[in-house]
Structure 1
Amino acid sequence: MTDTLCPVSLTQDLVRCPSITPEEGGALQLLQSVLEGAGFTCIRVDRNGTPNLFARWGARGHPRSLGFNGHTDVVPLGNPDDWTRAPFGGESDAGRIWGRGACDMKSGVAAFVAAAVDFVRTTPPDGAVILTITGDEEGPSQDGTVALLDWMAPRGEAMSACIVGEPTCPNTMGEMIKIGRRGSMTAHVVARGRQGHAAYPHKAANPLPVLVHYLDRLARHDLDRGTDHFDPSTLALTTIDVGNPASNVIPAQGRATLNIRFNDLHTSASLSDWLRDVARDVCAGTDVTLDLEFHISGESFLTPPGPLSDLVAQAVTDECGVVPVLSTSGGTSDARFIKDHCPVVEFGLVGTSLHQVDEYAEIDQIHQLKAVYGRILQAYFA
């Protein structure tokens, strides 16, 4: 009888790797050793100092190539003194594995690695199983999953469908699958005027009233009321900065930053045009200019409900005993890159503790997640 790979022990081993972005911390080396021992072909696809791992069992270019995607990098600890458990201890206690990355998302990686290893050992499929694991999801995300997909394309390496193992469940294991994500963009605004004495405002060009008027226009505007699969788009003002220490000086400039999470009624280009149009309108007739700079984290996308989401939902229901909601809520994930490569959905643990002090994952849920992924593999290659 073939021994099975324990996802809980693997989670603990991964948590003990101090892989704060962009440090590899030994996590990908550990996974490569495990996967090569199970017959996977493994290649490190590092780019610009970012560590990434590609692993494949089966023939390259097979038309049935199911992929899993995840990351081993973690966010910083914050104040280490606030932790009551060793952040990289991987301690098992009270039915939980404790440590940075236990929830987001070393347990998810451990679960799909364990499921894939057991599957190819016991039920070698007519097809390929591909794992793409990055060390740059919590960071800039420019040389992580993007680098893996860039490397795969000219080599004929392709996934025909992909599961991202990010935590997706708000409160109960199995309650939610992500079939898309809202887009995300940040706008940096600089209002430029002319400095002057507060007693002689007519001799200055105060940028602050124009900046405030601009931000008020944006904050009061309803971008939309949502769509069939998406919540309404949101605009949040995140900072307003002047840095003026003198109460009797009109400053020459003020700055602000805002973030927009948008659904499939918009694109980053259409929203950028709208922000510029409003800026021109509020600056008309003044001596103030508004300069805008944009950072696009990702466009909105949707994998329409269909064969892939049905297959994953059935596996979740069979294992967890609940019918999952198909959702597009939450922030961004690396699925925003994979959607240009193949159909993609996300399913993972309950994300209650992600990015928190004393982060943890429930041991029972880690076992459940491996079982769900195992059912997905069996059904996909049936």
Structure 2
Amino acid sequence: MTAVDPVRLTANLVRCASVTPADEGALDILHDVLSDAGFDCAWADRGGIRNLFARWGSKGHPKTFGFNGHTDVVPIGNADDWSMPPFGAEVKDGIMYGRGTTDMKSGVAAFAAAALDFVRDTPPDGAIVLAITGDEEGDAIDGTTALLAYMAAQGEQMSACLVGEPTCPDRMGEMIKIGRRGSLTTWITVTGKQGHAAYPHRACNPLPALMRLMDRLASHKLDEGTEFFDPSTLAIVTVDTGNPATNVIPASCSGTVNIRFNDAHSGASLTEWIKTELSKIEAEFGVQTGLRIKISGESFLTPPGPLSALVSKAVKAQTGIEPVLSTTGGTSDARFVKDHCPVVEFGLVGQSMHQVDEHVKTDHIVELKAIYSRILTDYFA
């Protein structure tokens, strides 16, 4: 029988304008092609988000390889800035253009195509699971977490999982993610007393307090890095007063900080540090502070071992490149999967993701399918 074409499947997915939280038929395409091939498919929808669970083989088999990915995409921005239709999946000179071509409909198409061919041609003694969400680019509240909750309720289990996010900075095959940094965002408000700028002694200016606080946070060295992680980073991303007057000391101001942290910290330990710094500022400046914190994910690591070796072997066999095991980059849904089973990430070159004229080389999609096929072959050998 004819092999499943991952390029055509990618194009079909890209033509669905599935900007989070919309699906626009993307998961239906996958549901139909998987169910037609004998996968047991179920919807794990939650909170208005569509999530697809598909399994070939016996439920709960001790040798179950899983793939995880998403079909939702970020907004296109200004459509006039695109040289190609953002949901057209048009191919020019061997390059497909469109939102989601890189992040990550091509990755989903590649692992779906690999799985479809594999179970047809060499049915394994085991099971294959595809857990695909429509809520990764947003708050990720009702996406992969909903899939994992569904799996727990139904007695479904993956023994290992590969997330198909783009992982390679410049060349196909050069990087596998074995962990990710945690992410914490804190919104800080400082409140003093409004007054006339000519009589500062009659007011309590919150701005010097906020500036001192931001300087202390930004100047603090969080760590030197750990065995598998680069040093943690802290970025001040905005400071706001909303004060249009030059002769008025404002009553309050605010600032926002984002921290990407390694395994030397936790969200809780960083929260306590920030609270301590706020208390010092209150005592020094006589202001009041407010704090809101969102921990998008804790840092995690799948130590080098059988799973990373399996993926590395397949990547090198296909590309000739020995991939680096890395924990760099932002967050991904692997942060949820790591509580279920060992997880690593491997996918395409991600240079154009989230950009205008996002694109992917079509031969990279074919190559990615081949790598995923090798992984399945070696895993079930």
| Same topology, TM > 0.5 | yes
CA RMSD of aligned residues (A): 0.6
The whole-number CA distance in structure 1 between the counterparts of 2:119 and 2:284 is 69
Q: Distance in 2 between matches of 1:303 and 1:195?
A: 52
5 Å-filtered alignment, 1:143-154, equals 143-154=142-153
C-alpha displacement of 1:287: 2.0
Asked if 1:50 corresponds to 2:58, the answer is no
Deviation at 1:360?
A: 0.6
Deviation, structure 1 residue 285: 3.8
Give me the whole-angstrom Cα distance separating, in 2, the residues matched to 1:75 and 1:94.
25
> How far, CA to CA, are the matches of 1:286 and 1:74 in structure 2?
45
2:158 corresponds in structure 1 to 159
SS at match of 1:139: coil
Match in the other structure for 2:106? 107
Q: Which runs of 5+ in 1 are unaligned?
A: none
Q: Distance in 2 between matches of 1:97 and 1:36?
A: 27
1:170 paired to 2:154: no
Q: Deviations over 1:217-271 (max 9, x none)?
A: 0111110111110010000000000000111111110000000000000000000
Deviation at 1:275, TM superposition (A): 0.5
How many residues are aligned here?
381
Q: Which runs of 5+ in 2 are unaligned?
A: none
Where does residue 352 of structure 1 map in the other structure?
Answer: 351
Report what 1:23 is aligned to.
22
Secondary structure, counterpart of 1:60 in structure 2: coil
Cα shift readout 1:21-43 (whole Å, capped 9, x = no counterpart): 11111100000010011100111
CA drift of 1:290 comes to 1.8
Cα distance between partner residues in 2 of 1:113 and 1:264: 33
The amino acid of 1:204's aligned partner reads A
User: Does the 8 A contact of 2:71 with 2:104 survive in 1?
Assistant: yes
**Residue 154 of structure 1: how far off its partner (Å):** 1.8
Give the partner amino acid of 1:236.
Answer: A
The equivalent residue for 2:247 is: 248
- Structure 2 Cα separation of the partners of residues 279 and 156 of structure 1: 46
Amino acid at match of 1:213: R
Paired amino acid for 1:145: T
SS at match of 1:351: coil
Contact 2:66–2:130 (8 Å) recurs in 1: yes
The answer on whether the counterparts of 2:281 and 2:287 sit within 8 Å (CA) in structure 1 is no
Distance 1:94 1:191 in 2: 55
Identity of aligned residues (%): 63
Determine if contact 2:107/2:347 at 8 Å carries over to the other structure.
yes
Task: Supply the AA of the counterpart residue of 1:67.
Answer: G
The one-character-per-residue Cα deviations of 1:137-157 (angstroms, maximum 9, x if unpaired) are: 001100000000011102110
Aligned residue number for residue 123 of structure 1 = 122
TM-score normalised to structure 1 length: 0.99
Residue 283 of structure 1, CA deviation: 1.9
Q: Which amino acid aligns with 1:175?
A: E
Q: Is the 8 A contact 2:44 2:150 kept in 1?
A: yes
Deviates more, 1:284-293 or 1:353-362: 284-293
- Distance in 2 separating the partners of 1:18 and 1:282: 47
